[in-house]
Amino acid sequence: MGRVTRIRRNDLGRLHKAQGRILLYCLPFLYYNQDRQGQLKVREQVSVTKKRKYRVLSLFSGGMGLDLGLEQTGRFETVVCIEKEKAFCDTIRLNHSKGRLSRNLQILEADISALDPKHVLNELKVDPESIDVVVGGPPCQSFSTAGRRGTTQDPRGTLLWDYLRFIQYIKPKIFLMENVRGLLSAALKHRPLTERPDQGGAPLTDEEMPGSVVNLFAQDLATLEGVGYHLDIFEVNAVNYGAPQLRERVLFIGNCYGREIDFPQPTHGNDSPAKSKGSQPSLFDEEAKIPWRTLGETIGDLEEENPVVLDFSPRKKSFLAMVPPGSNWRSLPVEVQIESMGKAWYAKGGRSGWWRRLTFDLPSPTLVTMPNHASTSLCHPTETRALSIREYARIQEFPDEWEFSGTVSQQYAQVGNAVPTRLGKVAGDVIATELDSIMLNNLTPHKHPTSDPRIVYLQSHIRTRQWFKNGRVHVWSDGEDNNDASYALPKTIRKVKSI
């Protein structure tokens, strides 16, 4: 096929300049072909809504945030979802029964690590060749900075490689995998700190090096039998794409056509509220962005007569009652800090979540599964209680009609661990565009990748752990001195490196 060129409706007068090209459009675009006399004629007018819907198999479906985001593009239908937690599956079944998910969805309550992909699809009567996209986020809490940092020890026995087994059998055109940032620096094997080179130990082996998990995963992807996948890895923060929450995640997008896929640049930034009040300059003076969505914009109009809440104990409430909006433990008198925190007060780090009360003026910090814990508290800005389930769902941008099953703790886990639906939609738009191009050009899968995997770091935000400074919410300005290596290059929007 020829070169693809896009022309808007109001550019019809310039069509004669497109000689010799095949032009692809969707409303507000048109399709044009050049006839034998050199005249460009309208071939077909196509609505985006009439475009093909790509079929998705969802693994580790959880709360369905990623899947909902994909379906919100109007370009995907989830035909199979697999999740082992009964309460999560009950939620999916409940909403599916009320028409909130794809009509043809089949829900399998099972542990993926115990499944054979071929047997599963045979039982469900699903042709693997009919699956265009595989999505999912293998649980890797051990790699999360919010949990205990771990390693795989036996990499091919982990859920990452269970995910890979489904990729190998189905051979989808594209796959999307979501995970925590800590996975990028995770090692295959762990060596105690006291035995490392800086403590006189032997040099680290390849398997002990940071990043060895992702390196091996990329190598295995590239050498699957019959097809090889190119892998693009994007470090993103949901707040930069319109989500009302600081949530740093890593998106792995693989395709078997050797294509390098680009993720959109951040659309939202810190142009408000600090800048509007004149107290802080923007991080993005060189490139205007839509202001971050705030907690107030997200839950300010929410009225709940009986909010479902995993609430604080009376003792915890007595301390939180002294904390003003947008503050944490550092705003308390020192003697109260020591009394309320115990040994944690003497720790050197990991304390920003203690006695944390949110503010309506900024996005929410990352949601956790237990908002009523002292060390990870997410207290309502004006009420001394934890955020409710419905407030959680608003922050993750689940539809208001979406219902949750299970105990209160299970509902918090479903929402707190979900991928923000906004992030799923942005990724879905990227993938749909790639699939359209693949289908238009009738591309064939490659047996081996033609380029190295790469990591793209889309940074236009402060580090989440810098959200609080001296007990108050703090948005770092361009002029401030900052020696924290984790917050380098505050104006860098895009860094690319091969792995």
Q: Is there a single domain that holds both residue 102 and residue 176? A: yes
Q: Give dist(CA 83, CA 484) in Å, integer.
A: 39
Report yes or no: 280 and 399 within 8 Å, Cβ to Cβ: no
Lowest-pLDDT range of 116-120, 192-196, 251-255, 490-494? 490-494
Per-residue pLDDT reduced to its tens digit, 446-487: 888 777 888 887 754 444 444 444 445 544 443 343 333 222
137 and 230 belong to one structural domain: yes
DSSP letters for 169-196: HH--SEEEEEE-GGGGG--SS---GGGS
Spatial CA neighbour of 83 closest among 65, 119, 107, 116: 107
- Which among 10-24, 50-64, 86-100, 473-487 has the top mean pLDDT? 86-100
| 141 or 66, which is more confident | 66
User: Could you count the other beta carbons within 10 Å of the beta carbon of residue 35?
Assistant: 9
Is the domain of 178 the same as that of 218? yes
Residue 347 and residue 408 in one domain: yes
Region 256-260: mean pLDDT is 94
User: In this predicted structure, what is the pLDDT of residue 226?
Assistant: 87
Q: Which whole number is the average pLDDT over 76-99?
A: 98
Confirm whether 286 is domain-assigned: no
3-state SS assignment for residue 56: strand
Q: Are 260 and 349 in contact (CB under 8 A)?
A: no
pLDDT tens-digit profile of 315-359? Answer: 999 999 999 999 999 999 999 999 999 999 998 777 888 999 999
Mean pLDDT (whole number) for 16-25: 37
CATH number, domain of 183, equals: 3.40.50.150
b/e map of 395-422 (b: 16 or more CB within 10 Å)?
Answer: bbbbeeebebbbeeebbbbbbbbbbbbb
Residue 31 near residue 24 (C-beta atoms within 8 A): yes
Question: What average pLDDT does the chain have?
Answer: 81
Per the CB < 8 A criterion, the answer to whether 499 and 230 are in contact is: no
Question: Side chain identity at 448, as an amino acid letter?
Answer: H
For 263-266, the CB contacts below 8 A with 24+ separation are 263/232, 263/234, 263/236, 263/426, 263/427, 263/430, 263/456, 263/458, 264/426, 264/429, 264/430, 265/458, 265/493, 265/494, 266/236, 266/237, 266/240, 266/241, 266/458, 266/460, 266/461, 266/493
The residues that bridge with 386 in the sheet, in sequence order, are 379
Domain assignment of residue 470, yes or no: no
Domain for residue 179, yes or no?
Answer: yes
Least-confidence region, from 115-124, 367-376, 435-444, 449-458: 449-458
Residues 262 and 217 in one domain: yes
pLDDT digits over 156-209, tens only?
Answer: 448 899 999 999 999 999 999 999 988 888 888 888 888 888 888 899 998 889
Q: Are residues 216 and 150 in the same domain?
A: yes
Q: Which residues of 59-92 are buried (b: 16+ CB within 10 A; e: fewer)?
A: bbbbbbbbbbbbbbbebbbbbbbbbbbebbbbbb
| Domain extent at residue 411 | 295-416
More confident residue, 8 or 411: 411
Average pLDDT of the segment spanning 22-42: 40
Residues 216 and 83 in one domain: yes
Q: Sheet containing 40-44: give its strands across.
A: 4-5, 22-23, 31-34, 40-44
H or E element in which residue 165 lies: helix 159-170
Question: At 54, which helix (H) or strand (E)?
Answer: strand 54-59
Residues 243 and 125 in one domain: yes
Specify the pairing of strand 468-469 against strand 472-473.
Answer: antiparallel
Asked if residue 451 belongs to a domain, the reply is yes
- Are the C-beta atoms of 30 and 48 separated by less than 8 Å? no
Residue 438 lies in a domain: yes
Number of domains composing the chain = 3
CATH number at residue 353: 3.90.120
Q: Are 305 and 367 members of one domain?
A: yes
Considering only 52-61, 205-214, 375-384, 490-499, which range has the smallest mean pLDDT?
Answer: 490-499
Q: What average pLDDT score do residues 376-380 get?
A: 96
* 451 and 381 co-located in one domain: no
Q: Kindly list the catalytic residues.
A: 140
The answer to whether residue 254 scores a pLDDT higher than 90 is: yes
What confidence category does residue 495 fall into, taking pLDDT thresholds of 50, 70 and 90? Answer: low
Q: Would the pLDDT of 392 be above 80? A: yes
One domain, residues 383 and 240: no
* Boundary of a domain, candidates 383, 416, 449: 416
Write out the two tokens for 207: 């398997």
Q: Is the same domain home to 240 and 299?
A: no
Any domain includes 477? no
Residue 33 domain-assigned?
Answer: yes
Distance of CA 440 to the CA centre of its chain: 28
**Ranges 16-25, 146-155, 378-387, most confident:** 378-387
Beta strands at 268-269 and 248-255: parallel, antiparallel or unpaired: unpaired
499 is a domain residue = no
Residue 472, amino acid = R
| 56-65, 179-188, 379-388: least confident range | 179-188
The model's pTM: 0.81
